[in-house]
Amino acid sequence: MAIPAANAKSMRYNGVARAFHAVIALMVVFNLITGIGGESMEKVWVPYPAHKATGILILLLSVGRIAWRFTWTAPAWPATMGTVQRLIAKITHLAFYALMLIVPVTGWIMSSASKYPISIYGMFDWPKLAVAKDSALAGIAHEGHEILGFLMAGLVLLHVAAALHHHFIIKDSILRRMW
């Protein structure tokens, strides 16, 4: 059954939200690949400067995305989603927002404790935080960054699987809301 154009538009996130989603999603996937598989890439390319710069951009864009989110109302959930599914979706989205802030901040703390600059793609250096290399904060940030990075990877896989499940199995409008 065709959905009237006005109704289809009201079922979608707005263009700014969709742009934030697409750009941040690509950056997160890039950082997961370069973070988890970075050591295996080092013989061909050292990914860590780009990983750090992208992490800072994820942090800044996530702050912008969260601020933008407060300026409009998300589209209604499709009728195919029950209360439990909506609750899981809300928790998942809150976890994403938290991780899109906490993972880059732990990386920033960890990088601030190293001797290397935090270069933003060779254009300028990002300011370092006052963190000593052997401090407890640097150690906690390092461990947290790794653990939360794996949590983010799992959440991304769950998110993609859920979106594809809705699109191909349930055949509702969830995936079309964002694309």
pTM for the structure as a whole: 0.92
The range of the structural domain enclosing residue 89 comes to 5-178
- The answer, yes or no, to whether residue 1 has pLDDT greater than 90, is no
Task: Reply yes or no on whether the pLDDT at 16 is more than 50.
Answer: yes
| pLDDT score at 140 | 98
Of the candidates 116, 119, 105, 113, the one whose C-alpha atom is nearest the C-alpha of residue 148 is 105
Q: Is 154 exposed, middle or buried (0-12, 13-18, 19+ CB in 10 A)?
A: exposed
Size of the chain in residues: 179
**104-161 pLDDT tens trace:** 999 999 999 999 999 999 999 999 999 999 999 999 999 999 999 999 999 999 999 9
Q: Which two tokens stand for residue 24?
A: 């941040």
Structure tokens at 153: 């990877």
What number of other Cβ atoms are within 10 A of residue 123's Cβ?
7
SS3 for the chain is CCCCHHHHHHCCCCHHHHHHHHHHHHHHHHHHHHHHCHHHHCCCCCCHHHHHHHHHHHHHHHHHHHHHHCCCCCCCCCCCCCHHHHHHHHHHHHHHHHHHHHHHHHHHHHHHCCCCCEEECCCEEECCCCCCCCCHHHHHHHHHHHHHHHHHHHHHHHHHHHHHHHHHHHCCCHHHHHC
Selection from 33, 164, 1, 66 nearest residue 179 by Cα: 164
Domain harbouring 39, CATH code: 1.20.950.20
Per-residue pLDDT band for 2 (boundaries 50, 70, 90) equals: very low
| Each residue's pLDDT tens digit, 51-80 | 999 999 999 999 999 999 999 999 999 999
Structure tokens at 152: 């983010």
Instruction: Give the total number of structural domains in the chain.
Output: 1
160-171 confidence digits (pLDDT tens): 999 999 999 999
Indicate if the alpha-carbon torsion angle 107, 108, 114, 117 is positive or negative: positive
